[in-house]
Amino acid sequence: MKFVIWCCAWLSVIGAASSVVAQQIPYQHGYAFLSEPNLPPDFEHFNYINPDAPKGGQIRIPQMGNWDSFNPVPPRGRVAATLAVGSPSDNLLLDALMEFAADEVASIYGLIAEGIAIAPDRSWIAFRLRDSARWHDGKPITVDDVVYTFNIYRFEANPSIQNPIAGFSSVEVISPREVLFHIDEAYRSDPLLPIRIGTMAILPKHYWTSGDHDILETTVKPPLGSGPYEIDDFYVGQWLRYKRVEDYWARDLPVNRGRFNFDFVKFDYFRDDQVQTESLKGDVIDVHVENIPRLWEQAYEFRPRELGLFKKSYVPQMRPAGLWWPVFWNLDQKRFQDVRVREALWLVHDLVFLNKRNYGFYDLATSYFHGSPMYAAKGLPDELELRHLEPIRDLVPPRVFTEPYRPPPNQGGGYDRETLLRAQELLREAGWVLDDQKLVHEETGEAFHIRMVAVSPALASSFIHYMQVLRRLGITATAKSPEISNWLSRMRTGDFDAGAIWFLPTNTPTSHIDNFFHSSQADMEYSSNWANIRNPAVDFLIERIKTSNEFEDYAAAIRALDRVLLWNFYFIPGMAKTRVGLAYWDRFGKPEPVATSRITSHIQTWWWDEERAAKVAEYSGRN
């Protein structure tokens, strides 16, 4: 499908700076990635909500780890929940120019902005602001706020904020309500740029430049916002509570009708999965996305569920399942730079056996984009994929062209002698030999030991069987799960041999892919390329993804990349979580279930049901 350009007749584009006469820009109500928005200009509400949902009550949500800042801009600190810069759906405090429709692949509609326009040559993107947009202190949201926000994000914020909007060179005010973002020529073919710039949270210039606050420093003073909620109360590192803004300026806009229905949204922080689950059962929290198979199957068989006061259900999803905490290797270490070593380690990881012990909770992943009919590679490369692969044929493993990727063979029994022998052969080819039952390098005498570092005790315990199998190859291993801040520091600084991180791509995964796999991100302190992948073939395909102008070509480039990543064995694909299990107290009204790209849509779309809540209160003695 051709990239959609709405603006067909432009009356004035003047001078080398491409200054545009504002009155002549034909704005549109929305934008869709390599497609067209599903909703018409006069739509009344999103299709996946109840527009008449009542307001009131509260919802209590668990979070893992801790927090120490309300400011996501600086590179330091752990930011509190729902203060994300690049996704308006994940920011309860600050509004963006546009809002996502969660039931579309990648469409945005007007929030602070009432219109969006894109130049025919894609050299700029313009927005027209609503007159009604207000900060919580009653002052209007202006083009000055947008300009201030762009300059902070583009040139001074942490790399995770800067990188997605690196293609924008400057911003220009073209009228009291209109701003225009100029795009560097090298980036003009990227169809994600309107979404990236349109969904960044807008900052209040008058607040951050008053002299009392520093936008480049962490803070635990609740900042001024413009969104549906304000920060009401908190205890640093342990919990925080948002309060619904009664006179929220955008409450009745089509993108917000039926959303943000709770008077209070409270987040409690935990450091252990089991404690989260017990807190839910103890009615300390209301809703929990359960990620531990044993707990999902066994922990919630208690009296309230028998009485219908407590529920479990699966949330339908429309985004790729991706990879659920796959093991990856630190490629800055010479031993892991040998693809034969990585393949050997992949071969002996019996994921079928592991999933049996996990009650079949997961799918066996066969793609970095598992579960996506658009992006997951299947069979041999098709004609569109080969257009991307042929220029780099000499840079990728031959099996990319000759073999469909499949999980390791002979799985299900815990370990397999034939597979162990093949892994041992690959290790021997790479220079690793057995010496007194220990695997050592034949030239240096270095023993093969793996330090595995996990984000939680539950994840670390899942490594135990794999470590036992590795011992049969003469490889020793340890698994540790440090405090989460220490875990994050070790991942970022390379103080590990093997790690694990979930790869959960969106429906438009360009930025995600770039952040995880591009060579330029390997030396970026705050990127997610913790594996330190530096592969020119991978970089080539990422650039193809960035510059695709048709969706079919975009998807083919992603499938080609998928094949190259799989056959390089950088990650052990492991499991994919194709179903999201939600456990909750039945206090809430819910819209009809619709597949969306949001895992935590309950925060935005559920509402407090007085009758249901009264039944739960009667049982627990809280009425």
Is residue 533 within 8 Å of 570, Cβ to Cβ?
yes
Q: Is residue 85 part of a domain?
A: no
pTM confidence score: 0.81
Residue 621 in any domain: the answer is yes
Domain finish residue from 576, 593, 610: 576
Asked if residue 491 has pLDDT above 80, the reply is yes
Name which residue leads in pLDDT, 547 or 31: 31
Number of Cβ within 10 Å of residue 469's Cβ equals 20
Residues 452 and 333 in one domain: yes
Same domain, yes or no, for 433 and 514? yes
What is the pairing mode between strands 13-14 and 19-20? Answer: antiparallel
Q: Answer whether residue 1 shows pLDDT above 60.
A: no
User: Do the domain assignments include residue 424?
Assistant: yes
pLDDT, one tens digit per residue, over 111-139 is: 999 999 999 999 999 999 999 999 999 99
**Per-residue tokens: 220:** 């635990």
Residue 390 sits at φ, ψ, to 5 deg, of -55, -40
Q: Given pLDDT bands bounded at 50, 70 and 90, which one contains residue 597? A: confident
Give the rounded percent of residues in the chain with a pLDDT score beyond 90: 79
Neighbours of 393 (CB within 10 A): 12
Residue 372: inside a domain = yes
Structure tokens at 291: 């990620």
270's tokens: 């935990």
According to DSSP, residue 290 is labeled E
- Residue 170 maps to a domain: no
> What average pLDDT does the chain have?
92
Three-class secondary structure of residue 170 per DSSP: strand
Identify the band that residue 23 occupies on the pLDDT scale cut at 50, 70 and 90: low
Does residue 66 have a pLDDT over 60?
yes
Q: pLDDT digit string (tens) for 353-409? A: 888 888 888 889 999 999 999 999 999 999 999 999 999 999 999 999 999 999 998
Tell whether 586 and 491 lie within a shared domain.
no
Count how many domains the chain has. 2
Give the pLDDT confidence score for residue 527 in this predicted structure: 86
pLDDT (0 to 100) of residue 2? 35
Integer Cα distance of 281 and 292 in angstroms: 15
- 10 Å Cβ neighbour count for 383? 7
Is residue 56 included in any domain, yes or no? no
570 & 423 share domain: yes
pLDDT of 7 > 60? The answer is no
Look at residue 189 and tell me whether its pLDDT is greater than 90. Answer: no
Identify the band that residue 622 occupies on the pLDDT scale cut at 50, 70 and 90.
low
Per the CB < 8 A criterion, the answer to whether 7 and 13 are in contact is no
What CATH number is attached to the domain comprising 492?
Answer: 3.10.105.10
* Whether 511 and 424 share a structural domain: yes
User: Considering only CA atoms, which of 102, 92, 105 is closest in space to residue 1?
Assistant: 105
C-alpha span between 49 and 607 (Å, rounded): 10
Same domain, 597 and 511: no
Domain boundary among 560, 576, 592: 576
> Which of 249, 248, 296, 287 minimizes the C-alpha distance to 267?
287
567 and 605 share one domain: no
CA 159 to centroid of chain Cα atoms: 16
Where in the sequence is the domain holding 376, given as residue range(s)?
327-576
When pLDDT is averaged across residues 441-463 and rounded to a whole number, the result is 94
Same domain (yes/no): 618, 500: no
Please check whether residues 529 and 470 belong to one and the same domain.
yes
User: Does residue 505 share a domain with residue 441?
Assistant: yes
Q: Are 524 and 409 in the same domain?
A: yes
Report residue 340: phi and psi, to 5°: -65, -40
Q: Which of 15-24, 69-78, 223-232, 386-395 has the lowest mean pLDDT?
A: 15-24
| 266: in domain | no
Task: Look at residues 576, 596, 612 and tell me which one is the last residue of a structural domain.
Answer: 576
Asked whether residue 612 is domain-assigned, the answer is yes
Cα separation of 222 and 103, whole Å? 32
Q: Are residues 569 and 588 in the same domain?
A: no
Residue with the larger pLDDT of the pair 221 and 164: 221
